[in-house]
Structure 1
Amino acid sequence: MDKFTRNYSIVLGVVVIALVAWWISSIWQPRVWEINDMLEADAKLAEYPYQFRMVSLDNGVATLSSPRNFKVPAIRFLEIIHPELAGLAQDDPKVIAAQQDLIDHQKRAQGLVLGQPDVERVTWQLDVQWLADHGVQVPNAS
């Protein structure tokens, strides 16, 4: 192997190792895993059809997954987990009760996460993957 090829191979190898190290450090989030374990262990949250999960923790800001936002209204999610709600009016008592149940579970997840000493604030991120797995296409942000 000539000198140029050897040096090129060494530089390329260092770059690849650096990129792999950066990638591993970006996905290595043991604190997120710990908090997700805590959320999974909560009896009240475990009974709900949707599992709220922490996506990231950055400088005291916890991002939690949510099955709803302004793009995907709660009723769309609720019709998936409670098919009997399909076609009912928004003001139907069954729909209102299901919405309140969702709110209660979301607030519980938020409260548990905010109870952690290293969490100052919670933001929400739409769980596009869960929705896609259940046949819901999320409109693109434009």
Structure 2
Amino acid sequence: MDSFTRNYTIVLVAILLGLLAWWGSSVWQPRVWELNDLLEADAELADYPYQFRLVRLDGGVATLSTPRSFQFPAVRFLQLIHPELAGQSQDDPGMMAAQQDLIDHQKRAQGLMLAQPDVQRVDWELDVKWLSDHGVHAPSAGSSAMR
């Protein structure tokens, strides 16, 4: 093998190893997995039709998935998990109870995260994958201002 081919191969392998290391570090998140296990193990959250999950943990900020945001109101989500509420107004007693149930579950997920020593704050991110899986075209993902 001539020197150019050898050097080219070395550079190419180094780039590939660097990319593999970068990918591995972004995927390997045992603390996120551990906290998601905590959310899944909670009996109250496990009974709810939507499973809150930790999307990422970065610098003490836990970003949790949510089925609602300012761009995608809770009423639309609630009509998905409670078809009997379809067409009901926001001030319907059943809709109000379902909204309170969602709030209670969201607060519980938030509380579980804030009880962790390495979590100082919780942000929320619209779960567009869950919505898409349920036939809803939702706005693109991004952290919402809900805290």
TM-score category, normalised to shorter length: over 0.9
How big is each residue's C-alpha offset from its partner over 1:30-78, in whole Å with a ceiling of 9 and x where there is no partner? Answer: 0010000000000000000000000000010000000000111001110
Partner residue, 1:123: 123
Partner residue, 1:45: 45
Asked if residue 33 in structure 1 is aligned to residue 33 in structure 2, the reply is yes
| CA distance in structure 2 between the aligned counterparts of 1:13 and 1:76, rounded to whole angstroms | 50
Aligned length: 141
Q: Which runs of 5+ in 2 are unaligned?
A: 142-147
Structure 1 residue matching 2:55: 3-state secondary structure:
strand
The percentage of aligned residue pairs carrying the same residue is 72
Partner residue, 2:80: 80
One-letter amino acid matched to 1:75: V
| CA distance in structure 2 between the aligned counterparts of 1:29 and 1:71, rounded to whole angstroms | 29
Asked if residue 65 in structure 1 is aligned to residue 68 in structure 2, the reply is no
Given the superposition, is the C-alpha separation of residues 103 and 57 from structure 1 closer, same or farther in structure 2, using an over 3 Å criterion? Answer: same
One-letter amino acid matched to 1:68: R
| CA distance in structure 2 between the aligned counterparts of 1:77 and 1:14, rounded to whole angstroms | 47
Q: Is the 8 A contact 2:128 2:139 kept in 1?
A: no
One-letter amino acid matched to 2:111: G
Partner residue, 1:133: 133
- RMSD over aligned Cα atoms: 1.0
Structure 2 residue matching 1:25: 3-state secondary structure:
helix
More displaced 10-residue stretch of structure 1: 21-30 or 101-110:
21-30
Tell me the CA shift for residue 132 of structure 1: 0.3
* TM superposition outliers: structure 1 runs of 4+ over 2 Å: none
One-letter amino acid matched to 1:33: W
| TM-score normalized by the length of structure 1 | 0.97
One-letter amino acid matched to 2:35: I
| CA distance in structure 1 between the aligned counterparts of 2:135 and 2:86, rounded to whole angstroms | 15
Partner residue, 1:5: 5
| CA distance in structure 1 between the aligned counterparts of 2:105 and 2:54, rounded to whole angstroms | 14
| CA distance in structure 2 between the aligned counterparts of 1:94 and 1:28, rounded to whole angstroms | 42
| CA distance in structure 2 between the aligned counterparts of 1:140 and 1:63, rounded to whole angstroms | 16
Tell me the CA shift for residue 140 of structure 1: 4.7
